[in-house]
Amino acid sequence: MYKTEEEFLKAYNPNDYDRFSITTDILILSVSSEEESNYRKLSKKYYSVLLVKRDDYPFKDKWCLPGGFVRIDEDIEDAPKRILKDETNLKDIYLEQLYTYGEPNRDPRMRIISTSYMALVDKARLNDKLSPNASWFNVNYLEDDKTIDVTLDNGEETIHFTIGKTLKELTTDRYKFKVLKNDKLAFDHPLVITSGICRLRNKISYTDIVFNMMPEYFTLGELQQVYEVILGKKLLDPAFRRIIADKVEKTNKVKQGGGHRPSALFRYKNAKKN
């Protein structure tokens, strides 16, 4: 027992305790627009995720989320910002902590604790600034009572994984996720992708989070498509417009050239500002 804190700290040896490595993984989500064959139709929208091809062990040649070690003198929240900057050359991106994973055997090298983050971006902002081993994958997400089935596609390669869901307890909607099938993704990254998509789907209905994925000007049709991708279902126009009416403001710009009535361009308006 020590008399003062100073004395205590002097005698304290951090190496007497178990020591871990800490990493962060970032789920960078966006919504893409594919080119459409029919000039009149709106381009179909997909969720998209940024993945990086691993060129070294462990999980050599597999894909993974951008990530890396947290530095000993670095705030844990700064690590994903740094990695995001390295990988996409962007800063001031929406970033949210998702979950901290710490199974003893999640990494073959050593004991690692990994805190995952979710970032949302407007894809148009960065297609040209990507680091060379990074690539956007379109997401196809299918969920039923017991499993989640995800297919990722970047035009050249297809990644597929399946996750089993079991309810953790009767009182909430929390699930224990277990990876049932996964051939091309490193670590427990299927879990991170899944939980991020679920988080976003929940948050879209009670926040304005979606506007972090939108460009400054957008049509209500485009915005509705993004909602539909995230919620995984079609929405009725009048209902949708009622809901977002006080979140956006009409500008005097229009978007035309689509073989149909031109669409007014809107901009995000923060309701709390008033």
- The contact set with DNA (CB under 7 A) reads 38-42, 219-222, 236-239, 241-243, 256-264
| Distance, C-alpha 28 to centroid of its chain | 4
Output the CA–CA distances (angstroms, integers) from residue 90 to 31, 175, 255, in the order listed: 17, 33, 27
| Residue 108 contact among a second copy, DNA, none, beta carbon within 5 to 8 Å by kind | a second copy
> Which CB sits closer to a second copy, 137 or 187?
187
59 secondary structure, DSSP code = S
**Is the CB of 94 or the CB of 237 nearer to a second copy?**
94
Query: Residue 1 binds which one of DNA, a second copy, none, with CB within 5 to 8 A depending on kind?
Result: a second copy
> Which of 137, 133, 111 lies closest to 123 in space, CA to CA?
137
Residue 132 interacts with, from DNA, a second copy, none (CB under 5-8 Å by kind): none
Give the up-direction half-sphere exposure of residue 144: CA atoms within 13 A in the CB hemisphere: 4
Out of a second copy, DNA, none, which partner does residue 91 contact, by CB within 5 to 8 A per kind?
Answer: none
- Of 70 and 150, nearer to a second copy (C-beta) is 70
Sheet strand arrangement including 263-268: 218-219, 263-268, 248-255
Of DNA, a second copy, none, which one sits near residue 8, judging by CB under 5 to 8 A according to partner kind? a second copy
What tokens does 78 get?
């700064």
Question: Could you tell me the smallest distance in angstroms from the CB atom of residue 81 to DNA?
Answer: 35
Binding positions for a second copy, rule: CB under 8 A? 1-2, 5, 8-9, 12, 14, 17-22, 56-58, 60, 69-77, 94, 96-97, 99-104, 108-111, 113, 115, 169-174, 203, 206-212, 268, 270, 272-273
Cα(90)–Cα(8) distance, rounded to whole angstroms? 44
Contact partner, 14, from DNA, a second copy, none, Cβ < 5-8 Å per class: a second copy
CB of 186 to a second copy, least distance (A): 12
Check residue 66 and report its DSSP letter.
S
Tell the smallest beta-carbon distance from residue 39 to a second copy (Å).
Answer: 33
| Whether the Cβ atoms of residue 52 and residue 66 lie closer than 8 Å to each other | yes
Answer whether 31's CB lies under 8 Å from 213's CB. Answer: yes
Tokens 């009409």, residue?
250
- Residue number, 241 or 267, with CB nearest to DNA: 241
For the chain, the C-alpha Rg in angstroms (whole number) is 22
Query: What residue type is 217 in one-letter code?
Result: Y
Cis-peptide, bond into residue 58, ω within 30° of zero: yes
CB of 33 to DNA, least distance (A): 12
CB of 256 to DNA, least distance (A): 5
